[in-house]
Amino acid sequence: MTAKALVLYGDGINCDLETEYGLSVAGFSPERIHATDLLKTPGKLSECQMLVLPGGFSFGDEIASGKVLSIELKQRISAALHEFIDKKGLVIGICNGFQILVQLGILPVSKSGAQKVVSLARNSGGKFINRWVNLSVVNEHQSPFFAGLKEIDLPIRHGEGRLTLGVNPGKEVSELVSKHTVLRYRDDVNGSYEKAAALTNEQGNVLGLMPHPEAFIRWSQHPSWTDSKKEPGETPHGLVILQNARKALG
């Protein structure tokens, strides 16, 4: 079966070409679509099996990261997006894409009308972070994206990636977020709640993550790629994540 993935681009998104390439290597048939075109023709979602919101700085991160594009998506294609998710279509938001999904209120609960319970705030150090990080996969049964993975390396590059629960969130919200966290930083890199680096929904078909899987498709992208300790033939972790998405579609 051909698995088609729509990759959003335009309006400040700048990781679409790398993402398109990574999806192609992983076995998808990717198609880049300008955000304006998707807003005009939401029926395009019914023609694909996965929607990808890549990293970048959509609309220059005006107001807040991902806010403007999330407003556009919510006002114009909310019904089509929720229908796509309800029909088990895969959605992955990477970095700015994760910020958009959070602004939409789609994570950690993807039901239409769900209350927004998390935010992605400025890093605790107050600075943009651009580095490789070591991460632990947790609650892996929640998401097909991380099948077979336990500990991975991926790069991060963001200024607003600190997951927060707001003021006095209550036990129910904190337990919900913990349950749907599927990736944690091994070290506290940005003050994120419980070191969370990725969230999924109850069905596991929507994933938002701050690290960039599309930036680790070949070992030569890793800063230690010449290290002889690396297992020969081991698939780069970012590629595994995208391959897992392809396998999940059958």
**189 vs 222: CA distance, rounded Å:** 19
3-state secondary structure of 83: helix
Q: Exposed/middle/buried for 227, CB within 10 Å: 0-12, 13-18, 19+?
A: exposed
User: Residues 198, 182: contact at Cβ < 8 Å?
Assistant: yes
Q: How many CB atoms lie within 10 A of CB 177?
A: 21
Give phi and psi for 142, each to the nearest 5: -75, -25
For 187, other C-beta atoms within 10 Å of its C-beta total: 10
Composition of the chain by helix, strand, coil, percent to 5: 35, 25, 40
> Which of 13, 79, 86, 78 is closest to 52 using CA atoms?
13
Active-site positions read 95, 212, 214
In the beta sheet, which residues pair with residue 50?
A: 5, 90
Decide if 135 contacts 126 (C-beta within 8 A).
Answer: no
For residue 155, give both structure tokens: 């790069």
> φ, ψ for residue 109 (rounded to 5)?
-115, 130
Q: Token pair for residue 231?
A: 């297992």
